[in-house]
């Protein structure tokens, strides 16, 4: 049937309309995807730990993942069943508390009571998200403690963790500004002419003396406090180059004038005048070598788009090992051993980046954590490398850096296996061709947990993970004396 001109135009309009509709739908999908990639982060400070939670942008509003938010604070069991989302949160030493929400609805239940969200609940890839603005109230209800959210800079304080500071200007020559903190701090420090910037990524620093403090001083002209992107900054401005020194075990930072640079070219050095017996401005002391310390670096494998093994369709390896890593860190802290996590949120890190970061941290021991749904029990691995007599003091080949530490790594693996055995956890000790373990210039082991006898889901159970974490921590504590402390 031939189409008249008017009908042709109508048919074309229908086709074009359909195409536009498809394009709009496809475009919307693409926008959601792009937003989920470009995540911001919420920094959470709790009495036990500080951690980051990736934020999802939904229609211009930041949302936080419930599992990522609550997991470092206790045991979490979450399930999405169609549009229904249920989460059981068990605080340490407490009983399970239930949260229920429905995708696309703003009403839910927390601990059996009705709870209204300021915007609809979101489920994406089986994970539940709530608006950032309610995270503080939710945690307060679950932990029965005070919380404080700074929404714009994305910082959440749980309990009375805030670290406050005082400012004390000493008008010596040159002037000295003493920043006193209520707890030891370890900011990163950046200096440029007339400015020193202290960035606090892990410390819950809050302003206690006003955001801008001006000084009428020939050297130091003011201090500005700011917080943004999950961190806090103290910006000290001045009229000349300045430097920062730590004192009082990290509780005090002293800002003062930097010494003038020595002349570059001199025919012959002029004799120095004798130093005065007592001076108010002592010459800068040579830097003392850092004190050796014993640090265990825990590397929860995978993260971000690299989910690792799918333990169950809704339980990726990356989540299981992050939860286990936090438990191991806690158990090590209980035994007086400092430990840090190579990743403390759902971020992607390449194998080479992991090795580079681990070697830069100069740990006394590196542990990679993995999980699998095949086999049973716990597998403890050391690197599969040919025996080599490399000097740890010299340069090490990247691909076989671990070879110099195999003996110590084997001792740690044996000790952890013995602790697993004593807790009647099935275990195997093996060599494995596992990266980035081969590239680690420190004693290193990898631990892979498989489900205990029972269902695969039990791999994420608090009881099982606690037993494994205790075994790992006890095994490390037992051989601590053998492992050398390292200067940072």
Partner 1 sequence: MNRRVLVMFAVLAIIALGLAFYALHLKRKVARDEQLAAQQLALAPPANGPPTPVTLYVASDSDGTLRRTQVNVTLPPERTERARAVLRALLGQYLQSSSPHPIGAGADVRDVYLLGDDTAIVDTNAAFADAHPSGVLAEELTVASMVVTLNANDTKIGRVKILVNGQERETLAGHADLRRFYEASNIGQVVKDLQ
**Binding region for partner 1 (CB under 8 A):** 7, 10-11, 14, 301-302, 306, 308-310, 317, 351, 370, 372-376, 379, 381, 384-386, 399, 428-435, 438, 446, 448, 450
For 88, 142, 471, the CA distances from 77, given in Å and listed in that order, are 5, 14, 23
C-beta closer to partner 1: residue 187 or 300: 300
C-beta closer to partner 1: residue 190 or 348: 348
d(CA 361, CA 129): 33
Residue of 280, 315, 354 whose CA lies nearest to 451: 315
Residue of 410, 378, 388, 384 whose CA lies nearest to 483: 410
C-beta closer to partner 1: residue 14 or 290: 14
d(CA 421, CA 178): 53
User: In the complex, what is the shortest distance from the CB of residue 218 to partner 1, in angstroms, rounded to a whole number?
Assistant: 58
C-beta closer to partner 1: residue 17 or 94: 17
Residues forming a β-bridge with 246: 253
User: In the complex, what is the shortest distance from the CB of residue 38 to partner 1, in angstroms, rounded to a whole number?
Assistant: 25
d(CA 139, CA 134): 9
CB atoms within 10 A of CB 23: 10
C-beta closer to partner 1: residue 224 or 429: 429
Sheet with 212-214, strands from edge to edge, namely 188-192, 195-200, 231-238, 220-228, 212-214
User: In the complex, what is the shortest distance from the CB of residue 199 to partner 1, in angstroms, rounded to a whole number?
Assistant: 33
User: In the complex, what is the shortest distance from the CB of residue 77 to partner 1, in angstroms, rounded to a whole number?
Assistant: 23
C-beta closer to partner 1: residue 196 or 444: 444
User: In the complex, what is the shortest distance from the CB of residue 343 to partner 1, in angstroms, rounded to a whole number?
Assistant: 15
User: In the complex, what is the shortest distance from the CB of residue 345 to partner 1, in angstroms, rounded to a whole number?
Assistant: 19
Q: What are phi and psi of 10, to 5 degrees?
A: -65, -45
C-beta closer to partner 1: residue 258 or 456: 456
Q: What is the DSSP letter of 388?
A: -
In the block, tokens 């090992």 appear at: 321
CB atoms within 10 A of CB 390: 17
C-beta closer to partner 1: residue 10 or 144: 10
CB 408 within 8 A of CB 482: yes
User: In the complex, what is the shortest distance from the CB of residue 108 to partner 1, in angstroms, rounded to a whole number?
Assistant: 34
User: In the complex, what is the shortest distance from the CB of residue 182 to partner 1, in angstroms, rounded to a whole number?
Assistant: 44
DSSP conformation letters of 21-47: HHHHHHHHHHHHHHHHHS-EEEEEE-S
């Amino acid at each position: 049937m031939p189409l008249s001109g008017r009908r042709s135009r109508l048919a074309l309009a229908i086709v074009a309309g359909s195409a536009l509709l498809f394009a709009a739908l496809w475009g919307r999908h693409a926008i959601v995807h792009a937003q989920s990639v470009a995540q911001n982060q919420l920094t959470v400070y709790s009495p036990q730990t500080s951690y980051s939670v990736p934020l999802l942008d939904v229609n211009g509003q930041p949302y936080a993942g419930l599992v990522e938010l609550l997991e470092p604070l206790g045991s979490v069991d979450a399930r999405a069943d169609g549009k229904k989302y249920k989460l059981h949160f068990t605080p340490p030493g407490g009983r399970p508390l239930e949260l229920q929400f429905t995708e696309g609805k703003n009403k839910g239940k927390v601990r059996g009571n009705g709870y209204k969200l300021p915007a609809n609940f979101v489920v994406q890839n089986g994970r539940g998200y709530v608006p950032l603005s309610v995270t503080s109230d939710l945690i307060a209800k679950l932990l029965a403690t005070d919380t404080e959210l700074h929404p714009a800079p994305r910082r959440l304080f749980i309990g009375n963790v805030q670290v406050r500071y005082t400012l004390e200007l000493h008008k010596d020559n040159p002037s000295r500004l003493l920043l006193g903190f209520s707890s030891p701090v370890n900011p990163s420090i950046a200096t440029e002419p007339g400015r020193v910037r202290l960035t606090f990524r892990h410390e819950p620093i809050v302003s206690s003396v006003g955001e801008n403090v001006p000084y009428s001083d020939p050297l130091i002209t003011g201090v500005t406090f700011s917080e943004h992107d999950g961190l806090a900054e103290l910006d000290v401005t001045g009229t000349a180059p300045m430097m920062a020194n730590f004192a009082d075990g990290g509780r005090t930072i002293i800002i003062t004038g930097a010494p003038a640079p020595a002349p570059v070219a001199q025919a012959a050095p002029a004799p120095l005048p004798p130093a005065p017996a007592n001076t108010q401005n002592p010459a800068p002391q040579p830097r003392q070598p850092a004190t050796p310390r014993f640090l265990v670096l825990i590397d929860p494998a995978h993260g971000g788009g690299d989910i690792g093994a799918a333990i169950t369709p809704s339980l990726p390896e990356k989540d299981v090992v992050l939860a286990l890593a936090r438990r191991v860190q806690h158990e090590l802290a209980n035994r007086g051993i400092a430990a840090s996590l190579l990743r403390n949120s759902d971020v992607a890190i390449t194998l080479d980046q992991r090795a580079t970061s681990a070697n830069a941290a100069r740990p006394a021991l590196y542990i990679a954590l993995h999980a699998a749904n095949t086999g049973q029990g716990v597998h403890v691995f050391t690197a599969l490398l040919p025996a080599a007599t490399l000097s740890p003091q010299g340069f090490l080949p990247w691909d076989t850096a671990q070879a110099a530490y195999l003996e110590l790594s084997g001792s740690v693996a044996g000790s952890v296996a013995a602790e697993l055995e004593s807790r009647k956890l099935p275990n195997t000790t093996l060599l494995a061709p596992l990266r980035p373990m081969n590239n680690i210039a420190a004693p290193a082991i990898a631990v892979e947990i498989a489900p205990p006898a029972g269902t695969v889901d039990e791999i994420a159970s608090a009881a099982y993970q606690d037993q494994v974490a205790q075994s790992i921590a006890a095994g490390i504590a037992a051989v601590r004396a053998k492992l050398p402390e390292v200067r940072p």
